[in-house]
Structures are given as C-alpha cells and as structure tokens.
Structure 1
Amino acid sequence: MSISAETFFLDHSAEGTLQSRIQQMVAQGILEGRFRPGERLPSSRKMAQHLGVSRITVTLAYTELVADDYMISRGRSGYFVSDNAPEPPAFPAQRADQGTVDWPRAIAQRFTPGLSVDKPADWSRFRYPFIYGQTDRTLFDSANWRLCALRALGMRDFEALTADYFDGDDPQLVEFVARQTLPRRGILANSDEILITMGAQNALWLSAQVLLNSRRRAVIEDPCYPALRNILTQSRCQLSPVQVDRDGLPPDKLPDDTDVVFTTPSHQCPTTATMPLSRRNALLEKAEADDFIVVEDDYEFEMSFLKSPSPSLKSLDQNGRVIYVGSFSKSIFPGLRLGYLVGPAPFIREARALRATVLRHPPGHIQRTVSYYLSLGHYDALVRRMSKTYHERRRVMEETLHHHDLTVAGQGTYGGSSIWLRAPSGVDTAILAEHLLADSVLVEPGAPFFASDTPPTQYLRLAYSSIPASRISEGVRLIADAIAHY
C-alpha cells in the first residue's frame, strides 16, 4: 500500500529547519501507527512538489530516516516504512483528569510562589522591552558559541560529552574558574572548594538546603530577589527580611540569633545599591563575632563599566564564613543555566552530595562548551562588547529620566544593567505596567521584590540590557506620560 503525499502537512509555526520538520512529520506518523511497516512513502519528487520545498531537502530528510531505521530504500522501487521501525503502543493513549483525588489535601508541601516577577515569553515583540536578564541577539556572539559547541562534540572530547561524572564536574571548566574567573574577584580556591551548578538559583537552593533547617534563622535583604525568598520560605527556616538603605544591607540591623545572611553586595537586587568597603568589613566582623555564615550572590560583577568593582566579600573573608555564588547565565545567556558555588571543602562536599541526589551534574557537553568559550577568549570579548553597549544605553537612560523628572531610587555605583525607579506616591506600577502594554512598553513592577504582605506599589525596575539605545528615549517618554496621566 502506498501512502499519499496529501497525507503530509508542514506545520509552519514549528521550529527547526525544513529538513528536521519533514523528518519529524514522517517519524510521528510512524510512531502514531498511521504508517505501517512495508507501506511505501511518496517519492522525494512528489513529496517536494506537494510541500513546496526543494527535492534535496526531502532527500536529506529521507536519508536521515533511513539511517535511524524508520525507513528503508529499495533501489528503484522507492522508500518504505522499515520493518524495524518503532511500533506504536498496543493500547490507546488516554488523558487522565483529576478524577476522585482531593489534590489540595493530597499535596503535602506547596511550592507555588506568591508574588513573582513576570517574564513574558514574547518579550522580544515589544518595541520598548525594559525587561531584565534577557539576551540581546545583536550583542551575542552566536558564531563562536556554535564553534565551541561543535568542538565539544568532537571525538577528542568524547569522554566529556558522554561520561557520567556522578557527582563530579568537568575538570577543564573547574580549572578555568579556579585560575581565571575567581582571581578577578580576588578569590583563590582549590578544585574541592568549587561546585558547578545549574545557574545561581540552583546554587542558592543548595546553600539553603545545606545550611538551614526549621530551627535556624536566615536574613534576606528587603527588597530582594523574589526567587530567593521563595527558596527560603520553602526551606521552613525562620526568615527575617532586613530593609536595605542606599548602601545595601546594614549589618547593625541583623537579628542577634542570625545563622545565615543572603546578600548581593556588588549590585543589590533590585535597587542596585553597592555596599561600600567599610560596610563589607563590618558585616564580616559581625559574622565572626555572632558566628553566622554569609552567602554572597555576586551577580553582574562583570558589568562594571563605570569603574572597577569593590572587592568581593569572599576575597575579604579571613575566616571561611563566606559562600560565594557566581553565574555565567547573566553574561552569556540566561538559558545556559550554568553557575558555580565556592566555599570551604566541608560545605562543598555536602552541596555536591545533595546535587547528586537531584540532578547528578550539569550536562557534560554544556560544561565543555562553556570551558572552550571561556578559554578561547570569546567570553571576555563578549563582556567588553556588552559593557560598552550598556554604558551608552545607561547614559541615554539617565539623561532621559532626568529630562522627564523621574525619580531614580538606585542605579549602581559600578554599572550593571538596570535602574530602580520610584513613581509618585499613589501610583501602582502593576496597573501602570498593564496600561503600558498597549504602547508596546514592557516594565517590571517592584512589588514582587518586597517581603511585606502589603508591599509598596510605586517602585519599578527599568533594565536596558535588551533595548537598543535608539528606542530608550521614546520608551521612557511613554512611561513618563503614563505616570502623569495615572
């Protein structure tokens, strides 16, 4: 029996090349049982004419399907579904509904957060995306990243690609972090003091799980990174938010029974306040006197385009009290999800064991690709390019905000990629953000960053990492107009 070409339809909204979409279309028909072993498929010419693609594209797709044993080629007779093709399940697929289970009662622990920062998946369609932490494709070095990924796929790196490290990491990446990345922040560490993580958030979760329990008290900055607050809430520890000021977290406001402090001293999240050296030393002295641990999230230290950043807390620590969290996701691209934890060997040993129970280790191919991207100098070139661009965007942003008399509540001493604004009292920036969508303006309301059940509503974060300088002035004008007509 022959399968008609009219049976096939390309999904034009699907991702991937034409060749891969044709492969998927045929394979899916076989897996669903619509095409059976021995049935002849349309010739490459007929399929190409029907789909409106080149014949070579169909031929290449068929060749891959033959290689994967979905199809066989019989000389002049054509292509047929292989006898060895995967068989569809012998029972029909059924969608299970909630049924009779009382799920609110059955769920023993809840992990859904309260207020959180909304990150629209379609942010790039907005003309004025003042949204934090997304990749600007005009800055990303896709060509060299692709070359590094291909190199990591080579036979020379076969072990790094395919090996199960169990609870270990790619030694080549760990060595680069130890010899190149950490010394730039004044940190010296051995390989047993470094753990590769699935981004900074994974590092913060591991730290919370190892250091905290229901009897211990954690201090967070207020406002702070919402995901960190959710992590600590789920850990069931005793949680104390401490309000930050223009210099970040004030050590003299910490509770006496503090066990762990989570802080962002270089670029406080979200106010971007920079903790001065005197306060950093005061925090470390208090940590030693009161016997608590400090977890330092040093995000965006690379984006210090105004002047050199202050020393990291970890570099000033003489007593092994600081756990350091770093990430490549902010500077390379957020979907990378690769970061690192640095701390005393006993702490890293426990964090490594915990990680192994959840995900063993980050994918070897990703680790080796990043290792090449770093060691070949592409990362430094990317950071320089981003810093130069961010510097110009920030200049335009500051000038425009001043022109429209908008109040800057925090903008970072050394650089960064965002500015913290305060609208007039009575303005709810969540409602403001909804109104601005009609003008293709995307902003981040500030309320989710605060720990209070009734957070202040007049703050918002404007990032300039994803918007070209040429659109900043008009976008800020639209924000100012919306505030004036609120």
Structure 2
Amino acid sequence: MAVPVESFFLDPEAPGTLQARIQQMVAEEILSGRLKPGEKLPSTRRLAAHLGVSRITVTLAYAELLANDYLTARGRSGFYVSQSAPRPAALPPAPAPGQPVDWQRTLARRASGGAGLRKPRDWRRFRFPFIYGQPDPALFDHSGWRQCAIRALGQKDIDTLTADQHDADDPLLVEFIARHILPRRGIRAGPDEILVTLGAQNALWLTAQLLLSPERAAAVEDPSYPALRDILAQTGCRLLPVPVDGDGLPPEAIPEGVAAIFTTPSHQCPTSATMPRARRRAILDRARQLGAVVVEDDYEFEMAYLKAPLPALKSLDADGRVIYAGSFSKALFPGLRLGYLVGPAPFIAEARALRAAVLRHAPGHTQRTAAYYLSLGHYDAQIQRLGRALAARREEMERAIRAAGLEIAGAGAHGGSSFWIRAPEGIDSARLAERLARREVLIEPGAAFFSAGSPGAEAARHFRLGYGSIPRERIREGIARIAEEIAAMRTEG
C-alpha cells in the first residue's frame, strides 16, 4: 500500500529548484522515521499532480534518491523506501540530573559582554534601514559571482576546493592582491608579506594577539569600532583611548608608553573623517619616537567616489612599522568574510602560524572564487557600480539632512557610506532609536562607539546613519521621520 500522496507538502519559502526541494522533502521524511523501509511512495504521476509540478521533475528527484540509496525501484511496481536507506539517529536516554557546572568560576576568560553593535537580524523588514555594513541586494553582482563560483568548482581547481592547504593561501588571490589591490594604495608587498584572513576583524584579532599582552599598552581612537576595543580588551593590555578631531587621530595626543597604535586613516570609524597626508606622516613620526607599531585598518578605501583616495599610511612607511588590514566585504558583500593582512615578512610568518593553529586557512573555494572575480574584471566593475549608487544616495541624504535641520558631525571627504550625526543637547540616541524602530526606521546609536571614559551625555547624542542599505527613493521620508521624532522628544522634555 502506497504512502498517501496527501502527506507530502512543499514549503513555498524553501530555497533551491523544484527538483531539489522534492528530493529534500522525501529524504527528510525518511530521515525523520516517518517513512519506513519497504513503504511504497506515490507514483511520479500522482505526486506531480498533487504538488502541481511536471512529472519529469518528480522523476528526476526520485532518480537522484534512487542513486543515493534512499529509494529502490521494483520493476513496474514503483518506488519504495530502500531497506538500506539512512536511518534516523537513535537518541540516547537523557542522563540523570547531576551537579551543574558553575561556569562563572570555571571560565578562565570571558569573550562576551563587550559593547559591540547589535543589529537586528530582521532589518530588511524596516522600510528605512539607515544601518551600516549590510548588503543591498540590488547592488550585488550575483551573476558575476555565480559565474566565478562555478568556474572555481571545475576539475582544474579541485585541489583548492578539497585539499587541506595547512597554512597556505590561494596563490592566485595573493598575486592579485599584490599586483592589483595594494598598488592602488601605494603599497608594494611580496607573497611572504601578505596573509589572507576571514575579514578585517580576523586580521585585527591576529594582530592584537601577536603585538599585545597585559604588560603592554595600545592607543585606540575614541570614538572607534566597538569590536576593536573588545578584541584589544581580550589581550589584557592597557587600553588608552585618544579623542579624535575632524582629521582623525591627533599624533600629539598619543600617550607615552604605547606598543601599538590602531587607526583608520581613510574613513575614521565612525566619524568618516579622512586623515590628511601631513598628519599621516606625523603619525609615523610619533610612532617612531615611541618605538610603537601602527595598525592601519584601511576599510572603505574603495568607496572614494568623490575624489581619489590618499595613499595608505602603509605606503609612507619607511621603517616597516605599519601593519595594514584590508577587506573585500564592503565592496563585495559582508557575508564573504575575506580580508588580508600586509606587513613585514617576520610578522606575517607569525600571523600565519597563529591562524593555522586556529582555523588553518580561509576556505579554498571562497579564495579561488574571489581570485577569479577579481582577475576577470568583475571587481573593478562592481566598485564603479557601487560608487555611482552611493554617490547618488549620499547626495540625496545630505540634502535631506540639511533640509531637516540635523547636524552632520562627520562625513567622508572622499566618499564612504554613512554620516555621523549629532542630535540636539538632551537627546539620547538610544531612546531615539527605540522610538524610531516603531516607525520602521533603523539608526545606530552612538554610545557603543565611545570608550567608557567618554562623557556620557555627549556620547549619547551621536548616532550613525548608513546609506548603503536603503533605496534612494526612501531616504527623504526616513530622514523626515527622524527629525519629527527628535522634535517630539524635545517637546516632551
């Protein structure tokens, strides 16, 4: 007797082709134990009619299940669940209650509790998402990336897909970074001076672990990237926040005794200030006086669509004291998690060894796909496309902000994808964000970017407005809602 056809349902929201979804549906029924070995499945004709799909689609799905030994065919009788089909895992009996572990005492170190930004996972449901660092599907080159991903799955590239490269990186990707990406920043580096990482954050973690310890101090911009402060805190080092001004990190304010100076010269995070060339040289002079290393996070350098970016701090480095961190996430898509470190060969050798101990290397297929995407010209085309879109949104955003009477506290001189806003005195941006969320508007409150020692009320007045994720046509109304809510809060006192 056949299993009733009415017991099969296709999830309309499930990803994949119809054939793949039907195959998954039947496999899940078998793996869950709801379909037993020897039970007969509905005919391909009946199941196709029930699901509203073509018979050939069901036939192909059954054929794939047959090849994987989920099903067996019996002459003209039809398809049955195979006797050797994968069985549902038997759950062991629950253990008897014991003495629970006191994790507060057991953990030697804690990584949670930092001031990192919390972005809602359902941000796409908001009509006005002024958040930073999330992708706009309309700007993603899905076709180009898919083409390169398929090419990287070819037999010629099988080793990059399947092999454990231990501590090595994809030579094609490293070569492209060395010959195409870094020269744009005025940097020359050989393969032994480049390490591929899982994004810039992973690069910063590796760097902090190698440079810092509880006996050392690090200078960091204030305000700054919250995750960077968390990374530095985990080393146990003394963290010395340095307030930034309109040109970024002031060299004369960097205190004595620091071992490492962390800075974002191209687009200061979160103010978007661009450090002038003279100050970049002054930062290197100050680092030389202190005997310190400079860690340059060069994020968003590709977003220089207003005018050409200044050369990287690393390009001015004659001493070999600058460690450079870059990322493809902002230009391509955040989920890529692919970045790179550039530094003197002895430092990169240690970073490579540390990375190998933690995660070996970034996935080979991802690296080879990125190498093809870059070398075939898709990357440059994507940068131009992204720059045009961001330039149009920035123009619209700036007009709307000024029309609404909001104060711009920081904006990238060369481009970027966000504005740093200062609300009127007495406005707490965290409360403002809560109220705006009820009106389908997302903003990023500024307090998380400041160090614990910063003036609370002043820090709380700031917030960041990103324009990489919001369609241009919605910007004006979204800014108007922000201004209306600020006015209402001021009226309420």
Fold equivalence (TM over 0.5): yes
Distance (whole Å) between structure 2 residues aligned to residue 33 and residue 362 of structure 1: 37
Question: Which stretch of the first structure deviates more once superposed, 69-78 or 428-437?
Answer: 69-78
Residue 76 of structure 1 deviates from its aligned partner by 1.8
Counterpart in the other structure of 1:273: 273
Instruction: Check if 1:470 corresponds to 2:480.
Output: no
- 1:225-244 equivalences under 5 Å are 225-244=225-244
Instruction: Check if 1:71 corresponds to 2:74.
Output: no
Secondary structure of the structure 2 residue equivalent to 1:114: coil
What is the RMSD of the two structures over their aligned residues, measured on CA atoms? 1.8
Distance (whole Å) between structure 1 residues aligned to residue 49 and residue 119 of structure 2: 42
Question: Which stretch of the first structure deviates more once superposed, 283-292 or 23-32?
Answer: 23-32
Residue 457 of structure 1 deviates from its aligned partner by 0.8
Structure 2: tracts of 5 or more residues without a match: none
Distance (whole Å) between structure 2 residues aligned to residue 89 and residue 474 of structure 1: 54
Residues 316 and 441 of structure 1: is their aligned pair in 2 closer, same or farther, counting only changes over 3 Å?
same
Residue 94 of structure 1 deviates from its aligned partner by 5.4
Instruction: Check if 1:260 corresponds to 2:263.
Output: no
Return the letter of the residue paired with 1:282.
A
- 1:110-259 equivalences under 5 Å are 110-259=110-259
- 1:415-430 equivalences under 5 Å are 415-430=415-430
Relative to the length of structure 2, the TM-score reads 0.95
Return the letter of the residue paired with 1:481.
E
1:219-268 Cα distance to aligned partner (Å, 9 max, x none): 11111111111111111111111111111111111121000111101100
Question: Which stretch of the first structure deviates more once superposed, 50-59 or 205-214?
Answer: 50-59
Residues 33 and 96 of structure 1: is their aligned pair in 2 closer, same or farther, counting only changes over 3 Å?
farther
Question: Which stretch of the first structure deviates more once superposed, 72-81 or 224-233?
Answer: 72-81
Secondary structure of the structure 1 residue equivalent to 2:213: coil
Return the letter of the residue paired with 2:397.
M
- 1:320-335 equivalences under 5 Å are 320-335=320-335
Structure 1 runs, 4 residues or longer, greater than 6 Å off: 95-99
Aligned length: 486
Counterpart in the other structure of 1:388: 388
Residue 89 of structure 1 deviates from its aligned partner by 2.6
Secondary structure of the structure 2 residue equivalent to 1:408: strand
Counterpart in the other structure of 1:87: 87
Counterpart in the other structure of 1:406: 406
Distance (whole Å) between structure 1 residues aligned to residue 280 and residue 160 of structure 2: 39
Instruction: Check if 1:480 corresponds to 2:483.
Output: yes
Secondary structure of the structure 1 residue equivalent to 2:413: coil
Return the letter of the residue paired with 2:473.
S
Residues 394 and 99 of structure 1: is their aligned pair in 2 closer, same or farther, counting only changes over 3 Å?
farther
Question: Which stretch of the first structure deviates more once superposed, 233-242 or 191-200?
Answer: 233-242
Return the letter of the residue paired with 1:42.
P
Question: Which stretch of the first structure deviates more once superposed, 69-78 or 293-302?
Answer: 69-78
Counterpart in the other structure of 2:53: 53
Residue 99 of structure 1 deviates from its aligned partner by 6.6
Counterpart in the other structure of 1:106: 106
1:383-417 Cα distance to aligned partner (Å, 9 max, x none): 00111111111111111111121100000111100
Identity of aligned residues (%): 60
Distance (whole Å) between structure 2 residues aligned to residue 366 and residue 84 of structure 1: 35
Determine if contact 2:115/2:230 at 8 Å carries over to the other structure.
no
Secondary structure of the structure 2 residue equivalent to 1:295: strand
Counterpart in the other structure of 2:359: 359
Secondary structure of the structure 2 residue equivalent to 1:285: helix
Residue 64 of structure 1 deviates from its aligned partner by 2.0
Counterpart in the other structure of 2:464: 461
Residue 87 of structure 1 deviates from its aligned partner by 2.4
Return the letter of the residue paired with 2:445.
P
Counterpart in the other structure of 2:434: 434
Distance (whole Å) between structure 2 residues aligned to residue 22 and residue 235 of structure 1: 50
Distance (whole Å) between structure 2 residues aligned to residue 280 and residue 90 of structure 1: 63
Determine if contact 2:115/2:227 at 8 Å carries over to the other structure.
no
Counterpart in the other structure of 1:16: 16
Return the letter of the residue paired with 2:481.
L
Distance (whole Å) between structure 2 residues aligned to residue 324 and residue 172 of structure 1: 20
Return the letter of the residue paired with 2:461.
Q
1:35-59 Cα distance to aligned partner (Å, 9 max, x none): 2333222222222233343333322
Return the letter of the residue paired with 2:431.
I
Residue 77 of structure 1 deviates from its aligned partner by 1.8
